[in-house]
Amino acid sequence: MGEFEKLLDDYTTDEDLGLSQVEKGETQKSAGLIDGHVHSRGSFDGMEKPSKLVKMAKASGVKYMAITDHNTTSAIAEYFMERGCDPNDVYAEIDGVKVIAGTEITCKLGVPNVKGNDMKLHLLVYGAKMQGSPLARLLQIKAANDFAFDFGMPIHCLKKMGLITNPQQEKEWKNKLKAFIIDERKARPGVNEMTREMTMRFLDQQGMNISKSHRELCEMLSDYNTVARLNLKVEDVIECAHASGGICVLAHPYVNLVRTIQPNREKAIRILLNMGLDGFEMMCNSSDSACNDMIRTIASKYKGGKTGKKSKKIIYTGGSDFHNTLNSKIGYIQYKDPISCASFRGFIEAIERLKAERTLEDTSLKPNSERIERIIKHYIDENELCITGSVSTETMEAMKAFKKERKAANNKLGMGKAQVKKGRKKQRTKMKEKGQVYYGEPKGKNKSGYTM
C-alpha cells in the first residue's frame, strides 16, 4: 500500500468518505486502478491523443479513466464517435478500459484569495452529456473565448494577409496552430500562450518570412483588439453540469484552497457544498493531509442540498492530472503510488449508477429550464463583450439584471458584498498578525503565504 493510500486510511472511514478498504489479502493489482483526471491533446497543455491514453491506461492496469480536458469535451466526444460510441453516454468501454466522459473547468468563486480577488477553482465534471446539453453549450462559448484569447493574434495576422476568408480556412489554420503548440511544448514544456515571438515563428514556419520584419508584424497588429478572458462562475457551471446529467468534483483542493486564509477555506467548502458540489479529489499530486482532514470534517456534518434537510453522500476521487509522460503516469500519483479502484468504490458506484440511469432514460433532448437558458444567454453576451469590447445597451441591461439576480442568491450563501469585504478585512488582519504581506511576497513562509 502506497504513502497516499495509507494517508487516506489514517483519517477516513467507509461511512464518512465513501472510501472502501482493500479486503484482506487482496492486492491492488487484482483490484485494478482508476484515474479520474487525465488530459489529452484536447487540452491546450496536453500532448497525447485519446487513443494513445487508452493504450497507456490498459498497460498500467487501469480499469476506469476519465479524460478531463480543460474547458472542453471536444476530443473525447470525437473519440467516442470514432469508436462508434454515443458521445452523450457516461462512459465507453474501449479495449478493456472504461473511458469516462469528463472535463476540467476553470471558474471563479466569490470568496477572496490572498490578493483580495475572487478565488480561481478547477471543477472536474464527470458523465455529463457532451452534445446539445447545457454544459456542452456553455463550453462552446468558453472554447470560443479561449481560442480568441490564445490564438487571436496569429489568426488576426492571417486574416490581414487574406489567408482566412471563411470558417473552413479558419478551422484548417486552427489545426495548424494546435500542431505548432504541441511541437513547441516538446521543446519547451510549460508553454501556455501564443506570444508575439511565437506568432512570428509560426508565420515564418508557414513560409511567410514575417520574422524578417518586426515592423510589419506591429503594423498588422495595430488594430488588433486584445481579448479579455471569459470567467465562468462556479454556481453556473454546477447548475449546467447537473442539468446535463453530470457530477461535479473539486479538483486538487489544496492547490485551490491554499491561496486564501483558513477561515475562507472552510467557508469556500461550505459554500461549494451548498451550491451542489458532489465531491472532492482527495488523492492527487498536491494532496495535503491537513486540508483533506478539514474537508472530511466539514463534509461529514453536511446535510445536503440548499434545504439542509436531506443527507447527501459526498463523492471522493483520485487522479494523476496526467498531461504528458514527463510529469506523470496514468493511474499513479508521482509515478509510484497506485490509485486503486478499491479505495474509490464510492466514485465508481456513482459513475455506474449514472450509466444505468442514462441507459434507461429518454435520450432525446428536452427543453432546458428558463433559468438555464438565461445562464447560456448571459455568457453569450459576456463573451461578445470580452472579444469585441462592446455590446448594445439592451444587452448590457440584461447582463446587469442577471448579475443582480445572481448577487441576491449569493448573499444567502455568504458571498454578499459586505460579507466579502468583512472576509478580506479579516484576512488582512490575520496575515498582519503572522507577519505576512497581504499584497506581495509573504515573509518567511511559502509562496502562497500559508501553512496548513
Q: What's the pLDDT tens digit per position in 395-411?
A: 999 999 998 888 888 77
DSSP reduced 3-state for 38: strand
Q: Considering the domain boundaries, does residue 227 fall inside one?
A: no
Provide the pLDDT confidence category of residue 4 given band limits of 50, 70 and 90: very low
Largest CA distance in the chain: 71
Residue 228: inside a domain: no
Tell me the pLDDT of the chain averaged across its residues: 81
Residue 415's domain comprises 392-433
Shared-domain flag, residues 98 and 162: no
Nearest to 297 by CA among 11, 10, 8, 2: 11
Same domain as 354, residue 271: yes
pLDDT at 218 over 60: yes
Residue 311 lies in a domain: yes
Helical residues (DSSP H) of 258-288, grouped into ranges: 262-275
Please indicate, yes or no, if residue 186 is contained in any of the structural domains: yes
The pLDDT confidence band at residue 22, using thresholds 50, 70 and 90, is: very low
Whether residues 290 and 327 share a domain: the answer is yes
387 found inside a domain: no
Is 13 part of any domain? yes
- Assess whether 129 and 152 both reside in one domain: no
Alpha carbon distance 253, 28 (integer Å):
25
pLDDT in tens, 303-313: 655 544 455 78
**192 and 122 part of one domain:** no
Alpha helices in 32-133 (DSSP H): 50-60, 74-82
The reported pLDDT for the residue numbered 362 is: 59
328 plus 405 within the same structural domain: no
Q: Which of 344, 360, 376 is the last residue of a domain?
A: 360
Lowest mean pLDDT among 2-6, 122-126, 214-218, 255-259: 2-6
Task: Select from 311, 342, 360 the last residue of a domain.
Answer: 360
Hey, how many other C-beta atoms are within 10 angstroms of the C-beta on 326? 9
Residue 212 and residue 251 in one domain: no
193 and 262 belong to one structural domain: no
* 317 and 341 housed in the same domain: yes
Mark 364-377 as b/e (b = at least 16 C-beta within 10 Å): eeeebeeebebbbe
Would you state the pLDDT for residue 213? 62
Residue 141 lies in a domain: no
* Residue 252: pLDDT over 70: yes
**Statement: residue 17 has pLDDT above 80:** no
**Residue 219 has what pLDDT?**
80
Q: What is the pLDDT of residue 199?
A: 86
Among 360, 382, 407, identify where a domain stops. 360
- What's the domain count of the chain? 3
Q: Are residues 295 and 412 both part of a single domain?
A: no
| Co-location of 326 and 396 in the same domain | no
The answer to the question of residue 347 being in a domain is yes
β-pairing, 315-318 with 247-250?
A: unpaired
Asked if 158 and 252 sit in the same domain, the reply is no
What CATH number does the domain containing 295 carry? 3.20.20.140
Q: How far is CA 88 from the centre of its chain?
A: 19
Give mean pLDDT, residues 118-146. Answer: 93
